[in-house]
Amino acid sequence: MQQTKRRVIALVDCNSFYVSCERLFRPDLKRAPVVVLSNNDGCIISRSTEAKQAGIKMGEPLFKAKYLIDKYKVKVFSSNYELYGDLSRRVMKVLKNFSPDIEFYSIDEAFLDLTNIQIDNIEAYIKNIREVILRWIGIPVSIGAASTKTLAKVANHVAKKSQKGVEEFISKDQSYVDEVLKTFPVREIWGIGKQLSKFFINNNFHNAFQLKSVDNSWVRKNSSVVVLKTIHELNNICCFPLNFSYTARKNCIVSRSFGEKIIEINDLKEAVVNHCITAAERIRSEGLIVKSVYVFIKTNKFKDGYTSLVKKIDLPIATNNTLELVNVCSKAVDSIYVKGLSYSKAGVLFGELEVKDNYEKNLFSHLNQNLDYLMKVIDDTNVKFGRGTVSVAAARINNNYKMKRSHSSKIDTSFLKFVPIVKTG
């Protein structure tokens, strides 16, 4: 009888990705503690090993980490998503050479299906991937290989802590894997977050090994189907298949916290309109149209009296036209605005997105042809001459809600002046 081939899934994860991107252009910071901040310079979202060792926590607000940053002379960067996106694309392109079956999981992670690739030595193979990425792009990665995504994640954690930077469970005995799982806290398991780990610890499941032998019906009764799948995956049963094809997204959110608190309705409207314009541009560039629009404004969630006001609008005809959408969003602000509150965040969510070409042509669609053309002209102009060259009047910029970004490296890979200079002997 022919045995089914065991799956081989490798998870490639860039180490401290945003920090690594900044370091590419600042080789002097190679061994220095470095952190990268979220939008508005709010929280720490990427840390170098040295910064982790200094005790700086993931997701910590900058002001809370100030003491450690000063003490250890940590270098701080605002985020530069254009740069990270560019380097991400380069890493992914190289990875594709090692397996055409690749799932681009996030900006700094990809799953490679190596099942059908002729490999004699799995560790040597993933080690080579690691070396090529480092040599060609300059980004350090860790790679874990196993028979399921969840186990590949575990292997990747091990890889991150090892000198080799790679770890594989494929050629190892189950007893070896079990020993690893015994040291692996439930909280670290992919899919087990803060709440679930609390629940499992309360029920005396502390590590991945304990969790993988839990009674299935008990899990199903007391938790969700996703958790059950996760547990199957720890037992080498594949429940999360790789997704190789591009699937259109279902939602598009654009939101920002304000640099300074906002009280006036016109300032709120201006922010919402600008987010609406950005979201409309995004969905147009992906060939999507929106059926339901949510507009939300919020006060500071860390203060008493936190208020979140939301308005949902179902559009009679799905669209991606900025002018229509701006109108809808602006009216939505009117309908939810409460005077006297101090707002700290606003945003729009486009839901029920659909691929435009698939959307059934309706009786009125021909009316939009001129507007479609207008949108195309505006988008093309903005690509050519820079964002916001052509916009709608309601989006006047008075900078009231502009983002804080005071530590930016301003690296732009499309400018020659940022190309690093190498001096040879």
Partner DNA sequence: TCTGGGGTCCTAGGACCC
**Chain positions contacting DNA, by CB under 7 A:** 38-40, 42-43, 45, 59, 61, 63, 105-109, 153, 189-197, 224-226, 249-257, 261, 282, 300, 302, 310, 312, 314, 344-345, 347
Q: Which is nearer to DNA, 313 or 371 (CB)?
A: 313
Q: Least distance to DNA from the beta carbon of 257, Å?
A: 4
Q: Least distance to DNA from the beta carbon of 224, Å?
A: 4
Beta strands 141-146 and 166-168 are parallel
C-alpha 107/C-alpha 87 separation (Å) is 9
Q: Which is nearer to DNA, 174 or 362 (CB)?
A: 362
Q: Least distance to DNA from the beta carbon of 121, Å?
A: 27
Q: Which is nearer to DNA, 306 or 373 (CB)?
A: 306
Q: Which is nearer to DNA, 302 or 415 (CB)?
A: 302
Q: Least distance to DNA from the beta carbon of 215, Å?
A: 17
Q: Which is nearer to DNA, 194 or 366 (CB)?
A: 194
Q: Which is nearer to DNA, 4 or 406 (CB)?
A: 406
C-alpha 378/C-alpha 206 separation (Å) is 56
Q: Which is nearer to DNA, 59 or 340 (CB)?
A: 59
**CB-based contacts of 7: which residues, under 8 Å, 6+ apart?**
113, 115, 147, 148, 238
Q: Least distance to DNA from the beta carbon of 75, Å?
A: 19
Q: Least distance to DNA from the beta carbon of 203, Å?
A: 14
Bridge partners (DSSP) listed for residue 293 = 313, 350
Q: Which is nearer to DNA, 39 or 391 (CB)?
A: 39
Q: Least distance to DNA from the beta carbon of 260, Å?
A: 8
Q: Least distance to DNA from the beta carbon of 248, Å?
A: 8
